[in-house]
Amino acid sequence: MSSTIDLQPLVEQVIQITKDVGYFIRTELRNFDRSMIEYKGKNDLVSYVDKRSEEMLIKALTKVLPEAGFVSEEDSANHQLSGKEYHWVVDPLDGTTNFLHGLPIFAISIALMQNTEVITGVVYEINRNECFYAWKDGGAYMDNAKIRVSSTQDLSDSLLATGFPYYNFDQMRNYLEILNGFMQNTHGLRRMGSAAVDLAYVACGRFEGFFEYNLKPWDVAAGACLVQEAGGTVTNFSGGDDSVFKGEIVASGEVHSQMLEIIQQHWQK
C-alpha cells in the first residue's frame, strides 16, 4: 500500500461526504414523483436522485484523492477498472427500487481500491443514520464503535440475508434449490433489497451471512471490506477470493463453510 495515503483520515472525509449526500437523498424522498422513474433495462430502475447523488459524490471524492479513477453505477464509461493505481467504487443509492417505492432501506456505498484490492469501505444507511466504515488492517466500525461478525457457530442458529435476480434468470432453478436448503437449515432468510446494507449487517453481527449473485462491483466492494475487517470471510460461490468483480458473493462469520456446502450442492459453475 502506498505510504502517501493515511487511510483513517481519508475514511473520515468519505464519511462526511456520504452524510452530506445522504441529506440530499433524504430530502428528495419526501416529495419524490414516481413519474420521474427511468428504466436502464428490465426492472433496472434509476432516477435523477441516483444521477445527481453520483455527480455530487464524484466531485467531492475527486478533491479527496485527485489521482483516483472511478468505477460507478450510473456512468457507463466507468464500469471497469482503468490503468490507474486507485479507484473509487461508488454506488450513489444502493436500494434504488426501495427508495422509489418509499421503503426505508437504502444506502450510499463507497470503496477505495488499490489495483485489485479493496482498502477502504464506507456504507451509510440513510434512514437509520448509521454509518459503517473500515480500512485495511484498521478494523470495522459503526458510528465510532468497533464491530465484529457474529460468533454463531452453527448454520441452524443463523439468520441469513440474500437477494433475488431481477434481469438474469438463467440460474433461477438452481438458486431456488439453494434457498430451499437454507430455509430448512437456518432461522430464516431476509431480502432487504440493498446488498451494501446486507453486508454491513453481516459485519456488525445482525446477520450471520449473506449470499447473492448478479451483483456489480459497486454493490459489494465497500461491504466486503467491512466484513473482512470485522473478522469475517468473503468469497465467491466457489470459495475463491474474487467476489467484487465475479458477480457472486458469500460473506459471513463462523458459518461460511456451511453456507458454501449448501450453495455448491446446487450451483452450476
- Domain of 219, CATH number, reads 3.40.190.80
| Cβ burial, residue 116 (10 Å; 0-12/13-18/19+) | exposed
Helix (H) or strand (E) holding 71: strand 69-72
Which pLDDT belongs to residue 30? 84
Mean pLDDT value of segment 174-193: 96
CA distance 125 to 22: 8
Helix (H) or strand (E) holding 142: strand 139-142
pTM: 0.93
Q: Residue 2 domain-assigned?
A: no
Q: Which of 126, 146, 166 is the last residue of a domain?
A: 146
Percentage of residues in the chain with pLDDT exceeding 90? 77
Q: How far is CA 164 from the centre of its chain?
A: 15
Q: Residue 49 domain-assigned?
A: yes
Examine the pLDDT at 39 and tell me if it is beyond 80.
Answer: no
Examine the pLDDT at 93 and tell me if it is beyond 80.
Answer: yes
CA distance 125 to 19: 9
Answer yes or no: do 178 and 112 share one domain.
no
Which pLDDT belongs to residue 255? 98
User: Please, which residues have CB within 8 angstroms of residue 96's CB and are 6 or more apart in sequence?
Assistant: 45, 46, 47, 50, 106
Answer yes or no: do 239 and 138 share one domain.
no
Q: Is 54 marked as binding a ligand?
A: no
Which pLDDT belongs to residue 3? 44
Answer yes or no: do 21 and 136 share one domain.
yes
CA distance 44 to 58: 22
**More confidently predicted of 79 and 99:** 99
Answer yes or no: do 110 and 170 share one domain.
no
Q: Is 94 marked as binding a ligand?
A: yes
User: CA angle, corner 69, sides to 214 and 29, nearest 5?
Assistant: 60
Q: Residue 112 domain-assigned?
A: yes
CATH code of the domain covering residue 112: 3.30.540.10
Kindly report, residue by residue over 47-86, the tens digit of the pLDDT: 788 888 999 999 999 999 999 999 998 765 577 788 899 9
Nearest in space to 224 (alpha carbons), one of 149, 115, 165, 152 = 149
How many domains does one find in the chain?
2
Answer yes or no: do 112 and 159 share one domain.
no
Q: Residue 1 domain-assigned?
A: no
Range of the domain at 43: 7-146
Answer yes or no: do 168 and 136 share one domain.
no
Answer yes or no: do 27 and 84 share one domain.
yes
Answer yes or no: do 55 and 84 share one domain.
yes
Answer yes or no: do 133 and 13 share one domain.
yes
Q: How many helices (H) and strands (E) does the chain have?
A: 7, 14
Answer yes or no: do 172 and 81 share one domain.
no
Task: Supply the mean pLDDT for the chain.
Answer: 91
Q: Residue 62 domain-assigned?
A: yes
Kindly report, residue by residue over 117-134, the tens digit of the pLDDT: 999 999 999 999 999 999
Q: Is 219 marked as binding a ligand?
A: yes
Answer yes or no: do 113 and 230 share one domain.
no
Which pLDDT belongs to residue 152? 98
Q: Is 154 marked as binding a ligand?
A: no
Q: Residue 140 domain-assigned?
A: yes
Answer yes or no: do 210 and 262 share one domain.
yes
Q: Which of 146, 168, 184 is the last residue of a domain?
A: 146
Examine the pLDDT at 268 and tell me if it is beyond 80.
Answer: no
User: Please, which residues have CB within 8 angstroms of residue 235's CB and are 6 or more apart in sequence?
Assistant: 241, 243, 249, 250, 256, 260
Q: Which of 146, 175, 210 is the last residue of a domain?
A: 146
Q: Is 93 marked as binding a ligand?
A: yes
Which pLDDT belongs to residue 81? 83
